[in-house]
Chain A
Amino acid sequence: MTEAAAQPIEKVSIIVSHGSLEGVYPGLIMANGARMEGIEASLFFTFFGLDAVIKKRMNSLKVATVGNPAMHMPTLLGALPGMSAFATSMMKKEMEKIDIPPVGEFVTMIHDAGCELYACKATVDMFHLKKDDFCPEIDGVISVGQFYERAAGGQIIFT
C-alpha cells in the first residue's frame, strides 16, 4: 500500500438518492458515523431521497417489498396490501434494538453533530417544493455545481 492510500479520510460528502427506508438509512448512518470519527461530513438529498427531509414524509418512509430481490419474497406476495407496512414495522423494531433512531430524530442528531444538510435544487424545482416543506435542519437548496464546490478536497459517497 502506498503512503497516500493510508492517509485518513478527513471529509465526506454523501448523496442520498432513494426515498425508501432502506434507501435513506445507509447515507444517514454513514454521515453520523463520519462525525463520530471526527470526519467532516455533509449530506446532499436528491430525487426521492428528498423524502428523508420533507417534514410530512420523513417519519413515514417505507421498506420496498416489491422489486427488491433481497427481500426474498415473491413479487405478488410483496404487493399484497399491508405487506410494505409490515416489513417496515419489523425493520423499525430491529433498528430500535440497536439504537438506530427514527429518521426525524436521526436527522436532528446528525445536524447537531455538525453535519450540513442540503437539498438538490433540480429536484426541488421539479417537484415544486418550498423551503417550508423541509425540516428546519436543511441548511440550503443548492445546485450540483455548488455541491461539487462544497465537496472539494473530500470523498463523495453515492447511496
Chain B
Amino acid sequence: MATLTIAGNTLALDADGNLANRNDWNEAIAREIAAQEGIPELTPPHWAVINFMRSVFEKEGDSPSIRRLTKESGVDTKALYQLFPKGPAKKAARIAGLPKPKGCI
C-alpha cells in the first residue's frame, strides 16, 4: 500500500492516492498535500471548500458533487476551478483527506 510521510508520520493512502483513513487528517497535513498538488497556500476560500466537503462527508459518507459545492459552499464554479486547478472536486477531496468523489456531476 502506498504511504505518505509528513513530519515523521507515515500515513496510509488508498488506490487513488488519497488518505486511507480520514482521521489521520489535520490542517498541517492538508497544507502539505496542497503543496504537493501545486497549491502553495491555502486561503480562507480554500478552507471554506475543504471544511464544507468534510462536513458533508461526515454526514453522508460521500463527497459533495461539484454542483453542490457551487450552490452550498459559498464558492462559485469559476472560483472553484481557480482555487483548485485541474479538477476542483477531486483535488479538494484529496486535500480534505477524503476519498475521491464517486458521483459523475
Q: Measuring CB to CB, which residues of chain A are less than 8 angstroms from any residue of chain B?
A: 29, 32-33, 35-38, 98-101, 108-109, 112-114
Contact A109 B66 (CB under 8 A): yes
Q: Measuring CB to CB, which residues of chain B are less than 8 angstroms from any residue of chain A?
A: 65-68, 70, 76-78, 81, 85-90, 103-105
Contact A37 B90 (CB under 8 A): yes
Tell me the bound Cα distance from A109 to B66 in angstroms.
9
Contact A32 B105 (CB under 8 A): yes
- Give chain B residues whose Cβ lies under 8 Å from the Cβ of A114: 81
Tell me the bound Cα distance from A32 to B67 in angstroms.
10
Contacts A109-B67, A109-B70 given; indicate if A99 touches B81 (C-beta within 8 A): no
A140 to chain B, nearest CB (A): 19
Q: Among A33, A35, A37, A98, which residue has its beta carbon within 8 angstroms of that of B81?
A: A35
Tell me the bound Cα distance from A38 to B66 in angstroms.
13
Q: A38-B85, A99-B67, A113-B81 are in contact. List 6 more A-B contacts (CB 8 A).
A: A36-B87, A37-B90, A98-B103, A100-B67, A109-B67, A112-B77
- Give chain A residues whose Cβ lies under 8 Å from the Cβ of B68: 99
Residue in A36, A38, A112, A113 with the greatest tally of chain B CB atoms within 10 Å: A36
Interface pairs (30), CB distance under 8 Å? A32-B105, A35-B81, A35-B87, A36-B87, A36-B89, A36-B90, A37-B87, A37-B90, A38-B86, A98-B103, A98-B104, A98-B105, A99-B65, A99-B68, A99-B103, A99-B105, A100-B67, A100-B105, A101-B105, A108-B77, A109-B67, A109-B70, A109-B77, A112-B77, A112-B78, A112-B81, A113-B66, A113-B77, A113-B78, A114-B81
Tell me the bound Cα distance from A29 to B78 in angstroms.
18
Q: Among B67, B88, B103, which residue has its beta carbon within 8 angstroms of that of A101?
A: B67
- Give chain A residues whose Cβ lies under 8 Å from the Cβ of B88: 36
- Give chain A residues whose Cβ lies under 8 Å from the Cβ of B90: 36-38
Which 8 A-B pairs give the minimum distances between C-beta atoms?
A38-B86, A112-B77, A38-B87, A99-B65, A112-B78, A99-B67, A99-B105, A109-B77
- Give chain A residues whose Cβ lies under 8 Å from the Cβ of B89: 36
- Give chain A residues whose Cβ lies under 8 Å from the Cβ of B85: 38
